[in-house]
């Protein structure tokens, strides 16, 4: 009944297996850098978004709305192809001599995700009673220090579940980097398909990789929350 002949050997050994492994490596690198940078940038934007200084507030607001509401694919093309039009020639020449595809993908993923993370952190902060901020300020902490030592450590803990979501999204969204020629796992799976026509096998392998990565990320975050953050908060 089935006219399709399954052949799993193409993805479990040999040259095509190596392609998939190299793709996995790039996906990991893309995800890890984007997660680190987008978390840091998201923190900064969240703090700016809650500032009392008007221009900072406006800037962060515009940033959030702009990057949350444009498609990631368009942003990737913008950083990769569009940046050429505005940058001076010397910088373009330098960018073209290094691995700019990878960098453009990380920049796009970071900025796109940081907008979502900032909103998640902000809602975490808003759930901390504002008396804590008042108490911190009246004890002589500056605004930034109150944030740093009192508010954010609690808010970040509350933000863990939505953050897991964002980190999982980064990992999966990194597949869009293939459109500018970054040889991550989806790119390699497609490559294996076009060489062997074993699309079902290669994309199954890629799917399992994403599933595995997502489970590992979610597991690590939960573990961190339980082992490090909860005891720090005096939780159960």
Partner 1 sequence: MKRTAVLVLAVLFVAALCGAAAAADTLADAKKKGVFVCGVKDSTPGFGYIDEKSRDIVGYDVDFCQAIAKKMGVKLELKSVTSASRIPQLIAGNIDMIAATMTKTADRAKQIDFSVTYFFTGQKFITRKGEVKKLQDLAGKRIGTAKGSTSEQNVKKALPTSTVLSFDDYPQAFLALQQGKVAAVTTDESILANILAKAPDKTKYEIPNIQISDEPYGLGMRKGDTNLVAFVNKTVLEMEKRGEAKKIFDKWFGPKGMAYHMARTFKITDKKESWEK
Chain residues that interact with partner 1, rule: CB under 8 A: 1-3, 81, 84, 92-93, 96, 100-101, 178-181, 187, 190-191, 193-197, 199
Nearer to partner 1, 54 or 89 (CB): 89
Which residues, in sequence order, are CB contacts of 214 under 8 Å at separation 6+? 168, 171, 172
Burial class (CB in 10 A: 0-12, 13-18, 19+), 163: buried
Q: How far is the CB of 86 from partner 1 (least distance, A)?
A: 12
Q: How far is the CB of 81 from partner 1 (least distance, A)?
A: 6
Q: How many residues does the chain have?
A: 236
Tell which residue, 171, 160, 190, has the closest CA to residue 109.
Answer: 171
- The answer to whether 120 and 41 have CB atoms below 8 angstroms apart is no
Nearer to partner 1, 195 or 224 (CB): 195
Nearer to partner 1, 114 or 188 (CB): 188
Nearer to partner 1, 3 or 138 (CB): 3
Q: How far is the CB of 24 from partner 1 (least distance, A)?
A: 18
Nearer to partner 1, 25 or 190 (CB): 190
Q: How far is the CB of 181 from partner 1 (least distance, A)?
A: 4
What distances in angstroms separate CA 155 from CA 39, 53, 122, 128, 163, one per listed residue? 13, 22, 8, 7, 11
- How far is 133 from 151, CA to CA, in rounded Å? 7
Signed CA dihedral, 122, 128, 129, 135: sign only: negative
Q: How far is the CB of 13 from partner 1 (least distance, A)?
A: 19
């Amino acid at each position: 009944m089935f006219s399709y002949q399954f052949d799993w050997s193409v993805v479990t050994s040999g040259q095509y297996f190596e392609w998939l492994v190299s793709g996995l490596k790039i996906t990991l690198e893309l995800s890890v850098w984007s997660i680190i940078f987008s978390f840091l940038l998201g923190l900064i934007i969240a703090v700016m978004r809650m500032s009392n200084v008007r221009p900072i507030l406006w800037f962060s607001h515009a940033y959030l709305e702009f990057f949350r509401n444009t498609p990631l694919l368009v942003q990737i093309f913008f950083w990769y192809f569009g940046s050429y039009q505005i940058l001076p020639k010397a910088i373009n020449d330098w960018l073209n001599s290094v691995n700019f595809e990878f960098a453009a993908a990380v920049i796009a993923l970071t900025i796109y995700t940081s907008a979502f993370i900032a909103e998640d952190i902000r809602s975490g902060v808003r759930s901390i009673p504002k008396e804590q901020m008042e108490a911190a300020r009246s004890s002589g902490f500056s605004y930034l220090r109150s944030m740093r030592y009192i508010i954010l450590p609690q808010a970040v803990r509350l933000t863990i579940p939505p953050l897991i979501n964002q980190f999982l999204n980064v990992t999966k969204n990194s597949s869009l980097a293939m459109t500018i020629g970054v040889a991550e796992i989806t790119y390699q799976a497609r490559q294996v398909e076009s060489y062997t026509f074993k699309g079902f096998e290669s994309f199954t392998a890629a799917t399992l990789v994403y599933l595995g990565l997502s489970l590992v990320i979610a597991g690590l975050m939960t573990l961190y929350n339980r082992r490090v953050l909860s005891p720090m908060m005096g939780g159960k």
